[in-house]
Amino acid sequence: MPGDPFLLGDDVVLCTVSEDDLSFMNRNINNPAVRRPLTSTIPRTMAETRQYFEDHISKEDDSFHLLICTPDEHTPVGMITLFKVARREGHAEIAIWVDPEFHGTGYGTAASRLILDFAFAEQRLHRVQTRVLETNPASQRIWEKLGFTHEGTHRDEEYDDGEFVDTRYYAILEDEW
């Protein structure tokens, strides 16, 4: 059961992460359809997921780790993180994953839209960037649909499914949002 709702949208709710969500997180981070685009190459035990929760998610820092949930029953469908928040410089990075059962439902786009509203309006950021493996066109479509600009490509930056692949970098500025 997710924590309290933090950001409310018509199509999605972003909730805080509770210890009850760790099995959902662990199951997904070990799923090849989630871990490979995130470039996670080692299996994660439940103890490691719990440690990540304690070291990163439950600590106060400049990151926002939120569960993507359905608007009706707050069923978790994924996770979105706004991290590397540099308040003085006014920029941050965004990362997202969605349970493969919910791929293609629009939850990723809705969650990204909601956290970008928060980043620009409430956190007063100026720039948000993200990076996507070239082998993940669905994620690329999210950022392009939201108005991100493809700023560059790092050639052969990651290793995925037996080959080196490019990483595409995208960003959006507050006045473009």
Q: What is the pLDDT of residues 79-95, one digit of tens each?
A: 999 999 999 999 999 99
Q: Tell me the C-alpha distance between 35 and 29, whole Å.
A: 5
Q: What is the pLDDT of residues 105-136, one digit of tens each?
A: 999 999 999 999 999 999 999 999 999 999 99
How confident is the chain (177 residues) per 10-residue block, as mean pLDDT?
Answer: 90 95 95 88 90 84 93 95 95 97 97 98 97 95 98 96 95 98
Three-state secondary-structure class, residue 67:
strand
Strand partners, 161: none
pLDDT of residue 57: 87
**DSSP-based helix, strand, coil % in the chain, nearest 5:** 35, 35, 30
pLDDT of residue 152: 98
CATH 3.40.50.1970 fits 5-128, yes or no: no
Q: Which has the closest alpha carbon to 145: 173, 119, 110?
A: 110
Q: Residue holding tokens 């994953």? A: 97
pLDDT of residue 62: 84
Q: Tell me the C-alpha distance between 161 and 74, whole Å.
A: 34
pTM of structure: 0.93
Strand partners, 127: 91, 173
pLDDT of residue 58: 80
End-to-end CA distance of the chain: 32
pLDDT of residue 144: 97
Residues 95 and 130 sit within 8 Å (Cβ to Cβ): yes
